[in-house]
Amino acid sequence: MLTTLTTLEITALIGFGSLLAGFLGALTGLGGGVVIVPMLTLLFGVDIRYAIGAALVSVIATSSGAAAAYVRDGYSNIRVGMFLEIATTIGALTGAALALYLRVSVIAVIFGVVLLYSAYASFRQEPHVNKDEGPDRLAEWLHMDSSFPTANGLETYHVRRVPLGFLIMFVAGTLSGLLGIGSGAVKVLAMDQAMKLPFKVSTTTSNFMIGVTAAASAGIYLGRGYIDPALAMPVMLGVLAGSLLGARVLAGAKVRTLRVVFSAVIGVLAVEMIYNGIAGKF
């Protein structure tokens, strides 16, 4: 059916699909990247490496916009973010290099598995209060302990298990570079579960880091010619508009219902990606 459409019509469809992806991604906290790549490959027949390149550009744009607001409001922990960016950047460069040599079918299967985990993480994700286990020597030495605004004023917190968080962040960066996603679910896992940061600090610091991680791997894709401006532009604009709209709707939305729907959608996309990868249809 797509062969009968004009270039302008296909661009408009990609832009609209990207808007929906950004909207759902903002409401669920996983970002639009987990939808962009399967949408472009499965629905529009785009080569997965070009789809990943376009998704990385959109991740940079959306992260840059939201991150500034979170930093201004005092939620993001800059010291934690900059330290962990060492791990995610090295991982992103590793993942992007691997993507250039792995078979497309292998990348598709890996992407499908990560989508399944993202669906599970979105479905079960619930804000909770981490128990304060006291200061950590390495975190104190790096001056990572901080505070964040609450309804009752600033609340202090301690950062724990920095080496474990660093290791998980390397994995998150590798997945980001390999698959063109923000890996927000893995980043939040590292900071919320491993390093015991408050949930709001984990999610906002993750958003702050995502753009830098994507920029590191996007350079490799750009150098190899896998970022097509004609594809990346409607994807970036659509995801950016969708994420801004989603952020406005978030306050009054029934997030739990949205998470269930979003989990079901990306679960179906995951199965489709795995099946097509194993069947060699890419």
For residue range 124-153, what is the model confidence (pLDDT) as tens digits?
A: 655 555 566 666 788 888 888 888 888 788
Question: Which ranges of the chain does DSSP label H, i.e. alpha helix?
Answer: 7-28, 33-38, 48-73, 78-99, 104-124, 137-141, 162-179, 184-188, 199-223, 229-249, 255-279
Q: What is the pLDDT of residue 108?
A: 84
Please report the pLDDT score of residue 144 as a whole number: 87
| DSSP one-letter string for 239-280 | HHHHHHHHHHHGGGS-HHHHHHHHHHHHHHHHHHHHHHHHHT
| Amino acid at position 192, single letter | D
pLDDT confidence of residue 170: 92
Question: 167: phi > 0 → left, psi -120 to 50 → alpha, else beta; which?
Answer: alpha
Which pLDDT score, from 0 to 100, does residue 233 have? 92
Task: Tell me which residues of the chain have a pLDDT lower than 70.
Answer: 1-3, 25-32, 64-67, 69, 122-135, 182-185, 247, 249-259, 262, 281-282
State the pLDDT at residue 235: 92
> Domain coordinates of the chain in residue numbers?
8-279
Q: Which pLDDT score is estimated for 182?
A: 66
Give the global pTM: 0.77
What's residue 132's pLDDT?
A: 60
**How confident is the model at residue 13, as a pLDDT?**
92
